[in-house]
Amino acid sequence: MNSTRAPESLIIDGAALPPMAFRLPHGMHAIEVSLAADERAEAARRLVRDIYPQGQESLWESMGSLYSAMADEMLASGVGFFGIGLYEIEDGGGVAHCSLTVAVFESGETDQDVVAQGIQALMLGDPLREVTWLDLPCGPAVCGVTFQKLLVDGAYTKSSQDEELVMGQIQVHVPFSTGPYTAVFTLDTASVEQSDEFSHAVAGIVGSVEFPSPAGAEGAAQPIASNSSVEK
């Protein structure tokens, strides 16, 4: 994956939430889920044009409506950020695809270590999940990696036969250093052959997380959530 371009700096800053900033690698296209409805729809249209620059207007309209509807559903479930990553596979192997969401939830505790230890204990309860403790520049975090097989109905496959699809998920819980909140970064992909590359991408994203003071955050990054809708 090519991440040589300087990544974009973004920020989640809800009305009652401390600000959080992080950086995205090249190839990740974002929707600011917590924008007002009309701005969110426009962000979805821009996303589609970024992903399909050679597409037709009809494609942009249909896919823009689809992504806008997805963003509406995510907003209702507490997601403040939605991104799609498209990366060319080396040696002409096609394109690897992933989705990235970020949600922020109340944790009821301000001690980052206590929150991370509790999350780790819960995640270790799943024997199919690989759990790793992370020491990030912004504080402790916990990463969980899972793979699962899904059965895709033949009505949606090229062979017209039911097919198994392996999905990989990397999820990182990052407790805030500035309040009783936890950010959950979730990357999902069916391109499991590129799991190592996606792991490096996620490591770069969560490794860039910062919790700036509200005054210091002004002008330092682009807001991606401008209301308290990601609160619980």
pLDDT score recorded for residue 216 = 52
The torsion angle over the Cα atoms of residues 173, 176, 180 and 182, rounded to 10 degrees, is -20
CA–CA separation, 80 vs 75, rounded Å?
6
CA–CA separation, 1 vs 194, rounded Å?
9
- In one-letter notation, the amino acid at residue 144 is G
Residue 144 has pLDDT above 90, yes or no: yes
pLDDT in tens, 68-82: 777 777 777 777 788
Residue 109 has pLDDT above 80, yes or no: yes
Q: Provide the 8-state DSSP code for 219.
A: T
Is beta strand 163-175 parallel, antiparallel or unpaired with respect to 139-152?
A: antiparallel
pLDDT in tens, 155-181: 656 677 776 767 889 999 999 999 999
Helix (H, G, I), strand (E, B) or coil at 27: coil
**Burial tier of 10 (Cβ tally within 10 Å: 0-12, 13-18, 19+):** buried
Query: For 25, phi and psi rounded to 5 degrees?
Result: -75, 160
pLDDT in tens, 8-43: 455 555 556 788 889 888 888 777 777 778 887 887
pLDDT score recorded for residue 158 = 66
How far from 120 is each of 89, 131, 191, CA to CA, in Å? 33, 7, 26
pTM metric for this prediction:
0.77
